[in-house]
Amino acid sequence: MTVRVERCRPGDRTAAGESDHDDAVDWAKNPVKPTASTPEALSPLQASAPSRKNVAIQLKSYKPRTPGLRHLRRPVNDHLWKGRPLRRLTFPKKGQGKGGRNNTGRVTVRHRGGGHKRRIRTVDFNRKEPGRQVVERIEYDPNRTAHIALLKNEGTGKLSYIIAAEGMRAGDTVESYRSGVPDHLIESMGGSVDPGLLAAKTAHRGNCLPLHLVPLGTQIYCVGTTRNKGAVFCRSAGTYATVINKDESEDKKVQSVAVKLQSGETRRFDPSVCATIGVASNPHHQFAQLGKAGRSRWMGRRPSVRGLAMNAADHPHGGGRGKSKGNVHPVSPWGVPAKGGYKTRGKRNRNIYVIQERPRNQGKRRTKNR
């Protein structure tokens, strides 16, 4: 095994959120830069997210003793736990891997089936338990792209799994402030809450905060949608969102928080929803190469057969002599046009929380022919 530093080709994957829309909101296009309310202690967090352009990464490459090893590339993750997971925080994946079939046995989700046996890790997305927690270890989770961290509460000794932040290692301490700011922290600030000083003490990598306590310009992940519920957005490897604006009332109370998500969509959130400081772990997952088709089958992924290679009874492009789909435009297996921006949803019932939709057509505005 050798470790090779490879450079990503320009344009492989553009930075999330880059948009050239003319009608974008000013503060949505230009996120607020750190000010006096955002201390300098947060600057390493803002630079921790990997760039999608011209970034040098370390990938494991193997001596090609077999054809399947020739093109195998894996990110270097030497900090991961080598043993088994904590068994009482897992349960077997039985009766859930149905191969994409429903209760009648028909395929409802294509390209799924098989795969190695797994145990589902119970991940805490709510993080309502207060107190300092120590990171025992960082583990690999076969059920998700990001890594998970095993936490131990210093007061109660309770163990739990969370989505690990990039840069989090064993021995680090994290804390959740969803239940409020502790009294000892308020006393350390002189008995009153200073927003800038509070951010310097709480907004650290891996800490879970209500969204109204997160400083502007901070990168977050595991963002919730509803108060008293768990995280929904930015849970995959290397994903993050950015807090770009806060709407305050006349009495300086935060009414809503605007967050720019990984897709580039700007959305309005309730100020009491949860968010974790940092970037989701394993950001180089996108550069991995499986090396062979069998490794994809181990993950429970079945082949994606082209419609042109099917029979006429299985796909509109199937049948015929040779490679010929006939004089028809590309369609899905159910006859829905596959190209040209064919829309199937109406503009009714739009999401009222979306401030600016994600950029489409690679961020370029499509001009209409007049």
pLDDT digits over 202-249, tens only? 999 999 999 999 999 999 999 999 998 999 999 999 999 999 999 998
What is the residue range of 333's domain? 306-358
User: Letter for the amino acid at 133?
Assistant: Q
* Per-residue exposure over 316-332, b if at least 16 CB sit within 10 Å of its own CB, e if not: bbbeeeeeebeeeeebe
Domain identity same for 153 and 181: yes
Taking Cα atoms as reference points, which of 362, 212, 328 lies closest to residue 273?
212
Is the pLDDT reported for residue 116 higher than 90? yes
Q: Confirm whether 291 is domain-assigned.
A: no
* Shared domain check, 159 and 27: yes
How many angstroms separate the CA atoms of 149 and 162, rounded?
Answer: 5
Q: Which residues of 223-238 are buried (b: 16+ CB within 10 A; e: fewer)?
A: bbeeeeebbebbbbbb
Same domain as 152, residue 251? yes
- The predicted structure's pLDDT at residue 349: 75
Q: What pLDDT, on the 0 to 100 scale, is given for residue 3?
A: 57
pLDDT given for residue 26 in this prediction: 46
E strands in the chain: 2-7, 56-61, 73-75, 90-92, 119-121, 132-139, 148-153, 159-163, 173-175, 208-210, 219-221, 223-224, 231-233, 241-248, 254-260, 266-269, 274-277, 354-356
Q: Assess if residue 95 is contained within a domain.
A: no
Task: Give the pLDDT of residue 364.
Answer: 62
334 and 213 housed in the same domain: no
Instruction: Name the region of 54 (left: φ>0; alpha: ψ -120 to 50; beta: rest).
Output: left
Residues 6+ apart with CB under 8 A from 368: none
Is residue 101 included in any domain, yes or no?
Answer: no
Q: What is the CA radius of gyration of the chain?
A: 24
| 167 and 254 together in one domain | yes
What whole-number percentage of the chain has pLDDT above 70?
82
What's the chain's average pLDDT?
85
- Distance, CA of 280 to CA of 287 (rounded, Å): 16
Tell me the per-residue pLDDT of 296-316, one tens digit each, with 9 for 90 and over: 999 999 999 999 999 999 999
In a domain, 363, yes or no: no
pLDDT tops 80 at residue 24: no
The pLDDT of residue 33 is above 70: no
CA distance 229 to 75: 33
Please count the structural domains in the chain. 2
Distance CA 260, CA 241 (A): 6
CB neighbours of residue 168 within 10 Å: 20
Residue 158's closest CA among 138, 140, 136?
Answer: 136
Residues 60 and 13 occupy one common structural domain: yes
Kind and range of the H or E run holding 147: none
Q: How confident is the model at residue 350 (pLDDT cuts 50, 70, 90)?
A: confident
Is 255 inside a domain boundary?
yes
User: CA 218, CA 65: separation in Å to the nearest integer?
Assistant: 46
Token pair of 222 as six digits: 């595991």
* Within-domain flag for 300: no
**CATH number of the domain residue 354 falls in:** 4.10.950.10
Return the minimum-mean-pLDDT range out of 10-19, 58-67, 173-182. Answer: 10-19
- Does residue 102 register a pLDDT over 50? yes
More confident residue, 115 or 190: 115
Q: Distance (Å, rounded) from C-alpha 326 to C-alpha 293?
A: 30
Segment 278-287 shows an average pLDDT of: 96
Mean pLDDT within 19-39: 44
Give yes or no: residues 176 and 66 share one domain: yes
Nearest Cα to Cα of residue 51 among 16, 94, 77: 16
Q: Is the pTM of this model over 0.85?
A: no
Residue 57 lies in a domain: yes
User: In terms of Cα–Cα distance, which of 166, 170, 165 is closest to 151?
Assistant: 170
